[in-house]
Amino acid sequence: MSKTTLILIIAALSALGLGCDSKNRGQSQTPATSDQQNGAAQTPSPRHASTPAPAAFDEARTADEPPEQGALLRYTADLKGSGALVASIQTSLGIIRCELEEERAPRTVANFVGLARGQKAWLEPSSQTAVTGKPYFDGTIFHRVIPDFMIQGGDPTGTGFGGPGYEIADEFHPELRHRGEGILSMANRGPNTGGSQFFITQATAPHLDERHSVFGRCSSPDVIKAIARVPSDARNRPISPPVIEAITFVRATK
């Protein structure tokens, strides 16, 4: 092989290598989001059809933040069907089934579902360390019960003062009211201070409207009644608190 021929071969190989490298340098390996494309939503091309869905669990760094808009789609992506979103709250006294208002209270429902399934990151109350991948409500108690009014739970400390390490905004809808028994609603300390604590009513309570975010309606009145009537002290704290053992979700059959 002549010296001239060898030089030409080396030059050709070098040019090919530079071409591949420069192409990769100019493009991000992370798919661009819609707001990175001049604000316009992009229609995926067929070659992107097999792109994996977003991670099911939130990153630990988001533990002190409420769920982002649209998080509910990610939290429920693995649920089969397209019917109403139903939560089954397994307690030590029976199962409470609640149909969630995902259309009229999407941010509140996303928060509840994400925490219950361990997909929403949260802060452990005592150490303030981030927790992800661990169902938030499992093993917590109903720490406040008032017969013929409501039962309250969702506090990992069991004191009524605990929460996930962040607060969510109120979410009111004119058709969601504390009317009748079985209304699932957020407890709070005032406007926009909800976190993880929730209550289920036993009776109509109009004074709670526009103060607490309704996000579902529960059946199983006998279980709710049994929880509300456990022996409690003067501050409505159960002597032997009923326990939330697990919360699971399904799509109802249409």
> Does the active-site annotation cover 123?
no
Tell the residue number behind the tokens 């109802």, with chain if given. 252
Return phi, psi of residue 57, to 5°. Answer: -105, 140
173 catalytic residue (yes or no): no
* Spatial contact of 173 and 105, defined as CB atoms under 8 Å apart: yes
Report the amino acid identity of residue 140.
T
- Catalytic residue, chosen from 137, 142, 198, 199, is 199
149 annotated active-site: yes
**Active site annotation includes 197:** no
The one catalytic residue in 57, 172, 208, 229 is: 208
- Is 144 among the catalytic positions? yes
> In this structure, which long-range contacts are made by residues 89-93, counting pairs with CB atoms below 8 Å and at least 24 apart in sequence?
89/218, 89/244, 89/247, 90/244, 90/245, 90/246, 90/247, 90/248, 91/142, 91/223, 91/227, 91/242, 91/243, 91/244, 91/245, 92/242, 92/243, 92/245, 93/223, 93/226, 93/227, 93/230, 93/242
137 is catalytic: no
117, 123, 137, 152: which one is catalytic? Answer: 152
- Pick the catalytic residue from 72, 85, 111, 188: 188
| Residue tagged active-site, from 117, 143, 144, 217 | 144
Active site residue 208: yes
> Of 74, 107, 178, 212, which is the active-site residue?
212
Active-site position among 90, 97, 149, 172:
149
- Which residues carry out catalysis? 144, 149, 152, 188, 199, 208, 212
